[in-house]
Structure 1
Amino acid sequence: MIFEENEKKEKKNEKLLVDLCECYHFLSKVALMDLFPVSVPILLKVASNKEESEEVQKEVEMALLALSSIGKNGEIEQKQYLNEIKEIIKYHQDHHNLTRLAYQSALEFLICRFYDSNVKGSFFVNERRRAKEEKLEEVILNELHFAREARREQEEMMKCVDWKRREEEKERGKEVPEEFVLVKWPRASKIFLRFYRLKNEEFLVLLSSVERVFQAAKENYRDICYSCVCMFDVAAGSKGVKVDHLLESGAIDAVLEEMHRSTLESRVTKKSFEFFVNVSLRTKGIAFDDDEEEEEYRKEEVKRKIIKRKMLEKMEEEGYEDIIISFHKTFGFIRKKFHGEFSLNVEDYFVNV
């Protein structure tokens, strides 16, 4: 229907075309690659409308949400979206014309394109593709200041959430929009950090902000809490995040605290263990992907030893240091042979506690 309507020479129904594109991307888990050259420009045109009426604002929000719904399910040529999405985001940063959901969705759409580029690039590495990746890195972090914006948005939305509301109360009532948007920020950050390569001090403020969200959510908002721990886990293995950022931001203390809960929750505890394995691998210097990273590691050996000692002291205080170390060989073997992770029934690993 989208292709047929788009190919009409006369009496093309633009409103129907927009509705069809939105419905398709909301409902389809894996979109047709051939559809992107049609649907993406159509939705970006709607999202670029700067009128301030309530009706237009809703249309813009729906278009951007549909674009973010594409997620990581397909590579889109930069010429089809980059200039337009940058203009939408920058205009909002200057004029605050978008809703919070629309703004987050715009950045998430851009970050998911970064994922596409790297996944494809892991199999077909060439200079042209790497140049595209570097351009997106520069745009997302240094031009659009994603880390700084994510921190600001998260902290603003934290003021709008009733953190004392219990799970059973949420089930009986309507979902608060701020909760939905808030949980999307750590998820988007996780996607970006998985492939970002360059060191940047702004990641410290981003991690610190997510840690504050985690602390607020840990009692009554377990979905948000889980998303935060997942983001910490990816950050621990990210080239762009310094290991000392994990200490300074409070991420390590937060995850240790989570593992001390009287009632363990499998998925959160599982991610907590994986986080500490990644941290430990980084400090031991056995997680290098290339010679350049190893050389940088050796140059900062003195600083690394100080950081390692601080982290081990924290882990020893809580009684986890020996347990984490004992997983190294087993975990490495599982990853090499089966590309697996820890069992979801992570309580089975606590036999030594």
Structure 2
Amino acid sequence: MQKTTETDNTKKFSKLFSELDHCTDVKQKQIIEEMNGIIDEMDKEEFTSAFTKGFFHETDKMIKDKQLSLENVILMLKHMGYCKEMKKIWNNDFQRCSLSKRIEKMIVDENKKKKGKNEKLLADLCESYLFLNSRFSKELLAIIVRCLLKATLKKEENEETQKEVEIALLALSNIGVFNTVQKEQYLNEIREIIKNHQKYLNLTQLAYQSAWEFFIDRFFKDRNLEDVIENELHFVREVTGRLEELVVCIDWKREKDERGKKDKEVQILTRWLDTIDYFLLSCKLWNEEYIKLVSCLVKTYLSANDKFMEISEKCIFPLRNAAKNRTVKTDDLLKGGSIGLFLEELMQSTMNYGMTNQSLTFCLSISERLKEKTDDEMEEAKRKELKRKVLEMMEEEGYEDVIISFHKIFDFLHRNFWIDISLNISDYFVHL
């Protein structure tokens, strides 16, 4: 049945695309809106099958031959890009095609205009380009970021404006961590966008998440941003609150076949977890709100477990990074429930290799922390007490026996997963 659905979606889309030739502009728009509805239903395999280099080349040819209006192409590309971003689909065919070059030139040309510049067209072109590319020149990125940040600072609070702002911020969030944006090009604007929402709640959930994702991706390469992120904009507190809201909103008890395509809340939650992951990989400033964040990640994991495995697995990564980074204290991890969670996970006979690897990495980090002595008598006393509590939990869960049982696959995990784990079994054990 699934195979038939995939074939039907792709065939319907291709058939409608072939009908765009020699249509009136109004009819084209109707067909594209129908095509956009099919894009909503596509899974990753269908999406990749439909949007090939050949498809983009044909679209470009139709623009060149004046068979397809630019306005209608943008209507299709923006919706395609929105779905690609929300479904986290990797497709790099666009950035290597003639249509990408055409839009890139149009952005540069429109931006150069001193008089008669069409700000709406420029924003549409920038969004289409950002959604469908992953690598950008610094010069083009400077134009795009300036244009879209300007678009997000609109003060109107009607639904149409909110949607425009959401799309602009979602597109900006696609500028990944390996693309460099100069601080002066975005810092004041993104700070204002986030502060305004914290004060007036003027953004949609997705727009607010996208603003933070764009900002945290910049933080990945510029650690000097942490003071603004933590002490001024209070990222940890904010993201904990958003997770708590989403965990309550999602109906975790529904069966998979009742859910159909992902709810928007599930997609937004997944995006927040990715953003938290990048943050905990890079952060250096500690604050007491980490306990609540850890607790919230554990709660999300337990809520999603079994039926939403993708979310459960995404909760594991930031918790593992928190243990490796050490900005989050061992006591925070214990009180937040993550140590207990990982110990329980190691007991599961149904664990997959990926989850096993993450759990072992977490436990190895905790073991290393608890072995580190300090010359400060009070801190050393705290460390010993903490170690006692953790060891009691480990003994209760039969931790050492489980680690011994996993030892035979250490080398396999070490060779097949990106994160290194120690092959020395004694590194995982802690004794008083």
TM-score by length of 1: 0.81
More divergent stretch after superposition (270-279 vs 299-308): 299-308
Gaps of 5+ in 1: 118-132, 286-293, 344-353
Amino acid at match of 2:234: H
Distance 1:82 1:327, change over 3 A: farther
**2:155 is equivalent to residue 50 of structure 1:** yes
Task: Give the alignment of 1:194-343 within 5 angstroms.
Answer: 194-285=281-372, 300-321=379-400, 324=403, 340-341=418-419
Q: Shift of the alpha carbon at 1:137?
A: 1.0
Question: How do residues 1-353 of structure 1 correspond to structure 2 at under 5 angstroms?
Answer: 1=105, 2-117=107-222, 133-134=223-224, 136-170=225-259, 173-285=260-372, 300-321=379-400, 324=403, 340-341=418-419
Q: 2:416 and 2:316 mapped to 1: Cα distance?
A: 24
Shift of 1:295: 6.5
Q: Displacement, 1:29?
A: 2.1
**Alignment partner of 1:75: what SS?**
coil
Aligned-residue offset at 1:165: 1.9
Secondary structure (helix, strand or coil) at the match of 2:220 reads: helix
Cα displacement (A) at 1:106: 0.7
Quote the offset at 1:324 in angstroms. 4.7
Q: Specify the SS of the correspondent of 2:325.
A: coil
Cα distance in structure 2, aligned partners of 1:189 and 1:29: 21
- Rg larger in structure: 2
**Greater CA drift, 1-10 or 102-111:** 1-10
1:251: how far off? 0.8
Q: Amino acid of the residue matched to residue 116 of structure 1?
A: K
How far did 1:267 drift? 2.2
Percent of pairs with identical residues = 46
Q: Is the 8 A contact 2:131 2:171 kept in 1?
A: yes
Length, aligned pairs only: 314
> Structure 1 residue 52: deviation in Å?
0.9
Secondary structure of residue in 1 paired with 2:350: coil
Post-superposition CA distance 1:294-349 (Å, at most 9, x none): 97888722211221222222223222236559999x989x98x9994359xxxxxx
Instruction: Report SS of the residue matched to 1:236.
Output: helix
Contact 2:346 2:402 in 1 (8 A): no
State the partner residue of 2:44: none
Counterpart Cα distance in 1 of 2:401 and 2:364: 12
AA at the equivalent of 2:268: V
Give distance in 2, aligned partners of 1:58 and 1:296. 56
Moved over 6 A (4+): 294-299, 325-328
- 1:12 Cα deviation after fit: 2.4
The separation in 1 between residues aligned to 2:255 and 2:140, in whole angstroms, is: 43
**Gap change, CA 1:3 and 1:295, over 3 Å in 2:** farther
Match of 1:122 in 2: none
Structure 2 length-normalised TM: 0.67
